Each structure stands twice: as structure tokens, then as C-alpha cells.
Structure 1
């Protein structure tokens, strides 16, 4: 029988591990996982955080992690298929306890990844073959290594790792992605990618995946909704109108979501100039000339006044695709007791994923908010551009 993890902290004081383990247990219930699986996965999370799990929450974050706005090293997501329960994922920084020095952080993260992989009999050969590219002696960039676990019944997750293409320097990001794809056997993949303003991640599926993917994430600064369809390189792919409609709805640019005095009306292209849109391009077939998957990530938290609006947009999108909205509506209370209208950022991203041979999926990314709640925005927030990735 699986032991129940400590979700209160050994001293009774709130700790990072206690908070996030409790959130994860409740989100497992939202996703329809058993209590035994929930406790098993919460234990994995606490172990992956290491000694920092016992860090009291009245202390500031250990350092300014790239993973979340308030620097919690944990984030959740619910990925919704049509007519089924959502898949729950937890994204974490496995080297967080090593601090903000990327060389030490990255090596600690690698050790944690390999220990988790060994527990579940997952091979890390693909990751091992890229170690020199993404973990140089003096790494650069905003992060070292992230890990996502897709939580499945039975206590054995699917694993994904996210690597930093800027590790050898931002100016070499494209070169690093190209070389990584070449080593992985996808020699024509890089040429199929659209133009981008940056390469925030390269991701690998590890473990029991039907068709393991290599995924390249691209950043698009100041994107207009009507420009988004051209970023999809799947063939066949979703209709251009579907892509544009998703951007408009998620970012609040649909006509029924705009303010009466908004400058986005009148046929003027509205550019997403706060936090940039990300696209993800998935590759499975090494002989193919292009990607088999395309995902749009809209940073909804920068285009709403408060989380009530973000949830409403997510409900609209789920309904459009025939997906069950009940788990999404339960998710916020599994993570926080605050009112949705009292902050912004609990729903960080809304994403639309298309993959050959599979129905589309909508994903909502949920923040842990361990250290801070961003106050709701005013009715007309400043439209200053930001350089942030996530």
C-alpha cells in the first residue's frame, strides 16, 4: 500500500513540498486518478524537489526560476481530449535545490532525471547523446533543465525533458537546435521550421510513448492573430481559420471580448506585444520533410484582467471542441482558496495541440502560486512589450 505523503510539513508550518504535494493530490482527483496514484505521484514530486521541499513558504524563493512568474519550481497542466478525462501533467525544475548556478543546477537536474528514469525503467539514451550540447562547462540562458511527468493510472508516468538551446549562448540557439535534431536523426526537420524570434526549448519524450516525439519550441514576438496560421508546417494541418480563431479567443481578441473603445477594432491588426506566443513543432518520422504536430501556446495571463476571464475563455474553447469543462472548473479550487477575480496568473497558458492521427487537444497550464499572487490588472493595462519566454 502506498504511504501517504506529508502534505502539511513536518513541523506543521507550510512548506514548498507540503503545498505542492497537496495541490497535486487534489488535481489527481480532478483528473480521475486514484488516491493511491495521487499519493505515489505526490511522493515523487517531494523527492524530486529534494531538500528544498522542506523550505518554509515564509522564506522567499530559493532563486528566480524561469519556470513560473512567482518563481515556484512547479507548474501543472490539464490536457483535454474530446469526450474523455483530461491528462494531468506536473512540470518541475529537478535541479532547483542546487540553486541558480546553471552548471550545478543542470548537473543536479540530470542526476534527478536519471534516478527517476531508473525507477520506472525508462531509457535516457536520447538525452545522454545531447549532454555536451545542452550542459557545457559554463552554461548560459534562463534555465538549465525542466522535466514534465504525465501522470497515468498505475503510478508510472510518461516523462518529458525540456532543454535550453541557449546553453552555449543565445546567438548559437539555432545552431544548437539544428545539431540536436541532426543527432536525433531528424536531418530535414530544422529546415521545415518557420521563422522565429527565439528558441526557448527543445523537448524529448522519454519512456512509454506510442510515438516518442522531439519537439522544438519557437518564440514569436508581437504576433498578430492573422499571422498565426502561417506558422503551422504540418501537412495536412488544421485549417487556418481554426488557428486564427483560437488565438483570438484565447488572447481576448474575438469581437465579443474586446472593449468598446479598444484600439484593436476597426480592422487594425492586434499584435500580442506583452508576452510572446510560443509554437511547438513535433517530429516523430525521421524520413518526413516536416513536423507531424503543431501546438500554439497563448500566455493568457498577460491578456486578461483576472483569472475569472482566463477560465471563461478556457471554457469557451473546451466547449468549441466538445470537451468536458467540469474538470477545468474544479481545478482552481484544487490549487488555491482565493477568488479568481482577486488575481491573475493562476491560468498561465492556453494551448491548442494538433497531432497526425489524433483529435485536437486543449491544454490549460495552472500555476502553483506558492510565493505570490499577481494582482488583477486594471481595465486598460499598459501595452508595453516584455521579453519573457514563459
Structure 2
């Protein structure tokens, strides 16, 4: 998730672009190869068993056949270079690594309204193939898909590939679809429809306490498909924030070691306690086990804004994984699966590193990868690592 302004042409990353490559590779070919290799890096056999490559291409629709040299199909909010696909790995101590894939299905559309229509069609088609219900999304469609849409995106679809051969599907929607000033009302109403209305006061008072200009609701995610405990997740971008603020947010989760979140932010940020450019992002997860308090909290740190190049981002990902007793060697295999370039030759392929704390499960660390389908952001000077 780029968390920049995708509708502004200046937000396109500058660097070596796919247009300079004479090979007429398509977006579908690029990300299909990356997915196949990422499956191997994460220890999945063949094409990923529970996640056939056809699902990825079907979700991309006509954008899959678009040559990379033609540029992004639209200004996508998913990645800095407007790639409409993002990969991530989820690590838990003592458990196999999970692979995740996020896609903007309507990325070929010219308008948000058309983007939403194509995205919903793609999710319904995936549900028919995978035999799961999209009822949670239909329950709130009036909140997130008005006739005239505002905001930065319409709908994203993510799939979790697990070694037990099941696939978890979730969708992301924009609480700012009716306008930024309506995002609080929309989020409160959505939580109420899923039975979490009593959780709203604490969220507003403790997570959004600095006001909408600094604590901004950016995404709402709904679990679809086969989840043991389906969640509704609220994502908040904390502009000009601190590691201490993330400690306060994580205290909403019963039993979560709050200081761990602050330490994680400092470790990924290279010791900094303040994040003044691209915001930290918190995510609170609500389940039927507790209708008044979140059962989990995730803090997403934009590591690419705090390193001069991806070699240091890799080092920091290794460090936090080892600190939590997780297999850091998979990161090197994942890097090789995503690109042939050297880590020092650019910055941003590793976009975020996040820590997940939960009442019911052990800590998890997620590492997010951009396909760099359209641009490689050049490395920056060591004293300019917070440009954002």
C-alpha cells in the first residue's frame, strides 16, 4: 500500500522503467513468474496448490495482457510505481511461512465507479470458483460503493496461501468513498452492521484522538472464504506519528505487550522514534470472540522511507525476524524470486515490515514486496532516508 497520492502524476517513481526493456513482457507474465517463484521460496510445491496462477490472472482481467512498456493501466494506490499487485510473506515462530497476494481487480478502469464494478465482478467470480460467500461485502455495499465515488481506490482483493491447502480471501474497501469527512460515519456504521458498534467509542477516543488530519481511517478489510475466525479490520494512517503512539494503540488489545510495538517501530525505522513523512499504519482486527475490544493489532512500518537502499531494508527484516525466533532465511529466497537486481541498486521493493499482536495467537511478522513492474526507485543518500 503506497499511501501516497495515486491520482497525481508526480507520484510515479522515477528510475529505470520497464519501458526501457525491449522485451514485450506483459503485466500478467511479470507477476505470474514472481508468484511461481515466491511459492517456491515459501516452500509451496508446484504452482502453489490452493492458489492456482489462474486466480491471479483472472483477478487482473484485461490488465494482465497489457505490456509493461505501456505503463500502469491506471494510477494504482497499491504500490509506489502503480503496480496493481503486492506480495507479502507472513512469519510465525515454529510455523510454515504463509504467502499473500493483493490485487486491484479493477485497475484497468478509467473511473472509480467502473473500478468498483469490475472489482466486485471479479470477487464474485472468484467466490463462485472457490465456493465461498461474499455476503459480508454485500452487507455494506451501499457504504463503500456509492453512485459517485470519492477516495483513492475502490476495491482490492487479497488471498492468503496456506500450507494446509486452504485459501483465505479478504477484500479492502475505502471508508472515504463518500468523501474524507464522512469516513468516521461510514466506519462506525460498518462496524455496527457486523456487531461491533460498542467497539467504536474506544477506537475513536484512543486511536483517532489527534483528529482526522493526523489520524486518518484509510482502509476497512473484510474476511471472506475459509477463515477460522472471520475479522473486520480497520486501518488508520498516523501522520507525523511516533513509536510511542503505536504503543498506546496496541494497548487496546487485551494481553498485548504494548512496548513490543514501540520497539518494533524503532528497529524497523533504524532507531528513529518519529515518523514524519509516510505515515505509520495501525490495523485493529475485530472478531466475534469480543465485540467491544479488538482481538489483534498490527503496526505497519514503511521501511523504504528509512533506508538508503534495499540492502539495509533486508538487514532490518532479518533482524526483527531473528528477534522473534522466525526463519529469516526465507527473505533472501523471496528477494531472488522477485528480482534479479542487487538490493543496493534501488529502494522500495521491500515496502513495509509489520508486527501483528493478537490476544489468541503468537506474534507474527509480515514483509511486503512490490513487483517493481514499472519503476525501480534509485537509492538515496543515507542522510535523506525520510523523504517519503
Say whether the fold is shared (TM-score over 0.5): yes
Is the partner of 1:35 in helix, strand or coil? coil
Query: For residues 244-274 of structure 1, what are the alpha-carbon distances to aligned partners after superposition, in whole Å with 9 as ceiling and x for unaligned?
Result: 1101001111xxxxxxxxxx6xxxxx42011
* Cα distance between partner residues in 2 of 1:235 and 1:43: 38
2:229 matches 1:202:
no
Match of 2:246 among 228, 235, 244: 228
1:119-158 equivalences under 5 Å are 119-153=129-163, 156-158=166-168
Identify which range, 284-293 or 64-73, moves more after superposition.
284-293
1:28-107 equivalences under 5 Å are 28-37=39-48, 41-99=52-110, 101-107=111-117
Is the partner of 1:95 in helix, strand or coil? coil
Gap regions ≥5 residues in structure 1: 1-11, 254-263, 265-269
Partner of 1:377: 380
Instruction: Give the superposition deviation at 1:239.
Output: 2.1
Instruction: Give the superposition deviation at 1:238.
Output: 2.6
Partner of 1:184: 194
* Cα distance between partner residues in 1 of 2:105 and 2:293: 32
Please report the TM-score for the alignment, with normalisation by the length of structure 1.
0.88
Instruction: Give the superposition deviation at 1:195.
Output: 3.1
* Contact 1:204-1:215 within 8 A present in 2 as well: yes
1:279-290 equivalences under 5 Å are 279-285=282-288, 288-290=291-293
* Cα distance between partner residues in 1 of 2:262 and 2:50: 40
Query: For residues 309-368 of structure 1, what are the alpha-carbon distances to aligned partners after superposition, in whole Å with 9 as ceiling and x for unaligned?
Result: 111001000001100111111111101000000000010000000122211000000110
* Contact 1:29-1:38 within 8 A present in 2 as well: no
Partner of 2:304: 301
* Cα distance between partner residues in 2 of 1:318 and 1:212: 26
* Cα distance between partner residues in 2 of 1:36 and 1:144: 29
Structure 1: 4+ residue segments shifted above 3 A: 153-156
* Contact 1:352-1:363 within 8 A present in 2 as well: yes
Match of 1:348 among 341, 346, 351: 351
1:262-277 equivalences under 5 Å are 270-277=273-280
2:35 matches 1:24:
yes
* Contact 1:95-1:106 within 8 A present in 2 as well: yes
Instruction: Give the superposition deviation at 1:178.
Output: 0.3
* Cα distance between partner residues in 2 of 1:275 and 1:164: 19
Is the partner of 1:206 in helix, strand or coil? strand
* Cα distance between partner residues in 2 of 1:154 and 1:35: 15
Instruction: Give the superposition deviation at 1:128.
Output: 0.3
* Contact 2:256-2:357 within 8 A present in 1 as well: yes
Query: For residues 147-205 of structure 1, what are the alpha-carbon distances to aligned partners after superposition, in whole Å with 9 as ceiling and x for unaligned?
Result: 10001347652101001000000000011000000111111121121333211100011
* Contact 1:278-1:297 within 8 A present in 2 as well: yes
* Contact 1:301-1:344 within 8 A present in 2 as well: yes
Is the partner of 1:140 in helix, strand or coil? coil
Instruction: Give the superposition deviation at 1:125.
Output: 0.7
Match of 2:331 among 313, 328, 332: 328
Partner of 1:161: 171
2:320 matches 1:314:
no
* Contact 1:28-1:38 within 8 A present in 2 as well: no
Aligned length: 359
* Cα distance between partner residues in 1 of 2:264 and 2:196: 29
* Contact 2:195-2:291 within 8 A present in 1 as well: no
Gap regions ≥5 residues in structure 2: 1-22, 209-214
Match of 2:264 among 231, 242, 246: 246
* Contact 1:37-1:154 within 8 A present in 2 as well: no
Report the CA distance shift for 1:132/1:282 in structure 2 as closer, same or farther (over 3 A). Answer: same
